[in-house]
Amino acid sequence: DTAVSQTPKYLVTQMGNDKSIKCEQNLGHDTMYWYKQDSKKFLKIMFSYNNKELIINETVPNRFSPKSPDKAHLNLHINSLELGDSAVYFCASSPATSGANVLTFGAGSRLTVL
């Protein structure tokens, strides 16, 4: 069973379209994240949710809207896609304990905007 699963793994779309990436974790973790990896492989956090509550929003354009229907799911919806949105998007989760919360990552979703 995949611990953190993302769908789709690949997404090719035209500029201006709206698209969603879904993420689900079966680890029982309380915190979920979205990270963006750009063409130079740089990884940067976008959002984090703790038990459905938004905790971190790292100055991401409001065209990006995360939605967490329950603590096992964190979806990412992107409106009016732009060329610069092309990237690999990683979902991750971690337990909300007092120790070092090791993040478990999904396999990534490669978004290509044409």
Site for other proteins in 27-56 (CB under 8 A): 30-31, 33, 35, 40-45, 48, 50, 55-56
Q: Is 92 in the site for other proteins (CB under 8 A)?
A: yes
CB of 103: closest distance to other proteins in angstroms?
6
Residue 34 to residue 98: CA distance in whole angstroms: 21
Cβ-based nearer residue to other proteins, 15 or 43: 43
Cβ within 8 Å of residue 26, ≥6 positions away: 1, 2, 3, 72
Residue 80: Cβ-neighbour burial (10 angstroms; 0-12, 13-18, 19+): exposed
- For 15, the token pair is 């500029």
Q: Is 68 in the site for other proteins (CB under 8 A)?
A: no
Binding residues vs other proteins (CB under 8 A):
30-31, 33, 35, 40-45, 48, 50, 55-56, 58, 88, 90, 92, 94, 96, 98, 100-105, 107-108, 110
